[in-house]
Amino acid sequence: MKARIVVTLKTGVLDPQGKAIEAALKSLSIDDVSGVRQGKVFDLEIASDNREQAEATLKAACEKLLANTVVENYTIEIA
């Protein structure tokens, strides 16, 4: 089973890297962008045929390692 986990900063959390990316885009004359927020994407393969068990495993991975749940949100997509 394949899965994708997307981790993003929670609303209201400062994103200095996003601001730096936005400034870099503007310096490249890409002016129509604003509010840039950066995040992380993890593509994984999970050895399970049980979707509920796979979700539980992936949630544990997010909670324990992949996301700092104090300042980040995550979504899990299973294909």
**CA-closest candidate to residue 78, choices 60, 51, 53:** 51
pLDDT digits (tens, 9 = 90+) for 59-68: 999 999 999 9
Distance CA 33, CA 28 (A): 11
b/e burial code for range 34-71 (CB count within 10 A of at least 16 → b): eebeeeeebebebebeeeeebeebbeebbeeebbeeee
**CA-closest candidate to residue 65, choices 40, 47, 48:** 40
Beta strands in 13-53 (DSSP E): 39-45
In which band, very low, low, confident or very high, does the pLDDT at 75 lie, cut at 50, 70 and 90? very high
pLDDT digits (tens, 9 = 90+) for 4-51: 999 999 999 999 999 999 999 999 999 999 999 999 999 999 998 999
State residue 56's pLDDT score: 97
Distance CA 74, CA 8 (A): 6
pTM, to two decimals: 0.87
Average pLDDT on 51-78 reads 97
State residue 14's pLDDT score: 96
